[in-house]
Amino acid sequence: MAVPKLKVGVAGLGRVAKRHARNFLNFTPQAELVAAFSPDPTELAWGRQHLESYGVTLYDDYDKMLQHPGLMAVVIGTATSVHAEETIKAMQKNLHVLCEKPLSTDPRVCREVVAEARKRPHLKVMCGFSRRFDDSYRDAFNKVSQGLIGRPSIVRSQTCDKYDPSGFYVQYASWSGGVFVDMSVHDIDLTLWFLGDDIVPKSISAHGIVAVQPELKKYNDYDNAVGIVEFHGGKIAYFYCSRMMAHGQEDTTEIIGTEGKVSVNTNPQRNLVNYYHAGGITREVPEDFQGRFEKAFIQEANEFTDACLNNKPLPMKLSNAAKAVEIGAYLQEALVTGKQIHFDEFGRRIERPNL
């Protein structure tokens, strides 16, 4: 008797979506990649070369892909500007959805996606925060949950990309939502995971510089930024995001508690090799986030598939994806305006008098 498989379609065939397509095609035994969509002729050409021979049907129209016979789930890796629209369309076709982060750069639109998902509790709708599927982060979370560091009180987390002189990130800044919404949203999601998704911001502040890509100024964005979120109840998160690392990808996190701390990737390495030579000791680091989180993406695909086929709970709440973008948007506002933002115990924004 044949074991049923989740029939999956991938929307978008850009850098991240290609990774999803390969993972569902090659590394997710319970899934079958049956369709892929892209409006870009170059991406479709890649699909014809790498997917079509495996029986994957290619589409240049998203709505037509949603009508693919037997389709059960959609993985959305298109431009952020259409994530919400495509997620809602898929849900309305009774399809499970794995959407790349963020759901939208607009917190209001994120909440609309969450509301739409609540109408369809039988569907599995997940936002792809890949770090939650990383073995090291899960080990750190288990240690925190066991009380090994006492009461977790401070999160210090960063997302730092290797410097790209091509100008890609300058163009990307025109619609990315800014460095905090695009990059630190991962660190914010980790904060909600480690400190509890019920935490409420008390104050938010941020500062940034443009060190290597001055063209970012026209989009009110920065290539380096630091943000601090103080929460009611006595907890703090410190975020650093950068697009100018000379050596490679460096995504690190520390969770500091009343009786100790755990750290993840504070000495980043591509593998376990150290090169000893006359100039010292050298170790290589991943070039980009996919190199760092390759296994996490595969684990994400498998757990999403298992949840869809066997009606298992997803490992994260969709509402957290909306909350992470909301905090990121406030950080971006504080970064651009230079003003600290304040909130009451219920999360409502309040204005402090200027003294």
Q: What is the pLDDT of residues 87-103, one digit of tens each?
A: 999 999 999 999 999 99
Give the pLDDT confidence of 114-163 residue by residue, as tens digits.
999 999 999 999 999 999 999 999 999 999 999 999 999 999 999 999 99
- Pair (327, 258) in one structural domain: yes
Residue 113 DSSP SS3: helix
- Pair (37, 174) in one structural domain: no
Q: Is residue 203 part of a domain?
A: yes
Mean confidence (pLDDT) of the chain: 96
User: Residue range 65-81: average pLDDT?
Assistant: 97
Q: Is residue 308 part of a domain?
A: no
Sequence letter at residue 326: E
- Pair (231, 345) in one structural domain: yes
Contact between 265 and 159 (Cβ < 8 Å):
no
CA distance 32 to 30: 7
Give the pLDDT confidence of 213-264 residue by residue, as tens digits.
999 999 999 999 999 999 999 999 999 999 999 999 999 999 999 999 999 9
Final residue in a domain of this structure, among 108, 127, 146? 127
Assess whether the previous peptide bond of 102 is cis (omega < 30° from 0).
yes
Q: Is residue 152 part of a domain?
A: yes
Which helix H or strand E contains 111, and what residues bound it? Answer: helix 107-118
Domain assignment of residue 267, given as a range: 134-294+323-350
Contact between 204 and 227 (Cβ < 8 Å):
yes
